[in-house]
Amino acid sequence: MIRPSTTLLLHDKFGRRISDLRISITDRCNYKCVYCRTGNEGALYGDLAFTDYLRMARVLVGMGITKVRLTGGEPLLRKGVVEFVRELSQLRASDGSKDGDPLDIALTTNGHLLAELAQPLKGAGLTRVTVSMDAVDPDRFARITRVPGGYDRVLAGIRAARRAGLWPLKVNCVLMRGFNEDQVIPFGMFAREEGVVVRFIEFMPLEEDRVWSPETVVRLEEILARMAEYRPLVEIPHARSETARRYRFDDGIGEIGIIAPVSHPFCGHCSRIRITCDGKIRTCLFSVWDHDLYAEMRRGASDEEMAEFIRGVVAKKEERHHIGEPDFVPASRTMVHIGG
Ligand code: SAM
């Protein structure tokens, strides 16, 4: 295994250290959320064998990746995901100064299959889980996911994850005007009652339906103002690389976060790269090209050659996104085909 020295850790040309890897293990999904997938298209790109993702992850961990998040599509649709987590958990992270820390392995899921899988995933070495949930009432939930009957399953999944000790447990809610902006206070109550961190995400132009406009975005200030009608919030200091601004309620019970890539971009502190389900590296959600790491593997590249390829790709990482600007060019893939 390649072991990073501090000089060999992955950095881009803007000096950002790349420590966070997201792997999409499928672009299939069983939900058709209005802000994400039309439902007319299923998987567009083929999945790789888990052994291929594992080799990519091993090389990248050797370059200083310390966090791996599995995503999709819906990652829990992939058979063998528990075993894959077990294999990943054997890798040891290194930031160049010391060796041997366990990798931080997280999962983003819609939660539909989580009730059955939370305990096995925890047993295999999963550290944390984030569940996407965009309403706290079953009818509204079905209107957003465009699949009936999911709400109770997702709630059961969240509770199973908590019982399994997958902690901290985060619930992501994309707010989209006309669908769920009135869910802010109900989610504040939910965070307090269920003991989860609810994070509101501003809607980004990464959906298949192409309905995004600046007016559809429910911005950070509006979310804060709506929540303040319920209870005062106190901001919690957060790490610069953290995507969410964090707040607790004034009585100390319950935490929420706001991820505001549209109104308050955090590209300057971005530490992420992504591998798509078909083995391409993406340096930004809004990239207009992919870099074919899997093709390098197929042509027989050694680990060192793969590392060299990755280094060249990371050097091209975009400085920032251009959402809402006149020169904005839509990403070459939508969210479900990148991995959120
Ligand atoms: N299926 C899993 C899930 O539902 O969490 C993982 C994949 S999903 C694409 C990952 C995350 O991206 C989810 O939290 C989802 O809400 C978010 N997402 C999808 N489309 C988005 C958009 N257009 N703007 C902001 N967030 C989006």
Pocket of ligand 1 (CB under 6 A): 29, 35-36, 71-72, 74, 108-110, 132, 172, 174, 201, 203-204, 206-207, 335-336, 340
1 belongs to a structural domain: no
Overall domain count for the chain: 1
Cβ proximity of 258 and 199 under 8 Å: yes
Gap between the Cα atoms of 219 and 271, Å rounded: 23
Pocket test for ligand 1, best of 35, 45, 258 (most atoms within 8 A of CB): 35
pLDDT of residue 242: 81
15 belongs to a structural domain: no
pLDDT of residue 234: 97
113 belongs to a structural domain: yes
Task: Give 56 Cα–ligand 1 centroid separation in angstroms.
Answer: 23
Atom of ligand 1 nearest to the CA of 205: 23
Query: How far are the Cα atoms of 23, 295, 303, 317 from residue 312, in angstroms, in the given order?
Result: 19, 15, 14, 9
137 belongs to a structural domain: yes
In the chain, which residues have pLDDT < 70?
A: 1-7, 41, 96-99
Q: Is the pTM of this model over 0.85?
A: yes
Tokens of 47: 């999945």
Residue ID of nearest Cα to ligand 1 atom 10: 340
Task: Give 131 Cα–ligand 1 centroid separation in angstroms.
Answer: 10
User: What SS3 string covers the chain?
Assistant: CCCCCCCCCCECCCCCECCEEEEECCCCCCCCCCCCCCCCCCCCCCCCCHHHHHHHHHHHHCCCCCEEEEECCCHHHCCCHHHHHHHHCCCEECCCCCCCEECEEEEEECCCCHHHHHHHHHHHCCCEEEEECCCCCHHHHHHHHCCCCCHHHHHHHHHHHHHHCCCCEEEEEEEECCCCHHHHHHHHHHHHHHCCEEEEEECCCCCCCCCCCHHHECCHHHHHHHHHCCCCEEEECCCCCCCEEEEEECCCCCEEEEECCCCCCCHHHCCEEEECCCCEEECCCCCCCCEEHHHHHHCCCCHHHHHHHHHHHHCCCCCCCCCCCCCCCCCCCCHHHHCC
Task: Give 322 Cα–ligand 1 centroid separation in angstroms.
Answer: 19
8 belongs to a structural domain: no
Residue ID of nearest Cα to ligand 1 atom 13: 132
pLDDT of residue 217: 98
For the segment 240-263, what is each residue's pLDDT rounded down to a tens digit? Answer: 778 999 999 999 999 999 999 999
CA-closest candidate to residue 170, choices 197, 150, 146: 197
Atom of ligand 1 nearest to the CA of 174: 16
pLDDT of residue 96: 64
Residue ID of nearest Cα to ligand 1 atom 12: 340
pLDDT of residue 135: 98
Note down the domain range covering 56: 20-337
332 belongs to a structural domain: yes
Task: Give 294 Cα–ligand 1 centroid separation in angstroms.
Answer: 24
CATH code (residue 229): 3.20.20.70
307 belongs to a structural domain: yes
Residue ID of nearest Cα to ligand 1 atom 17: 340
Tokens of 207: 């959906």
194 belongs to a structural domain: yes
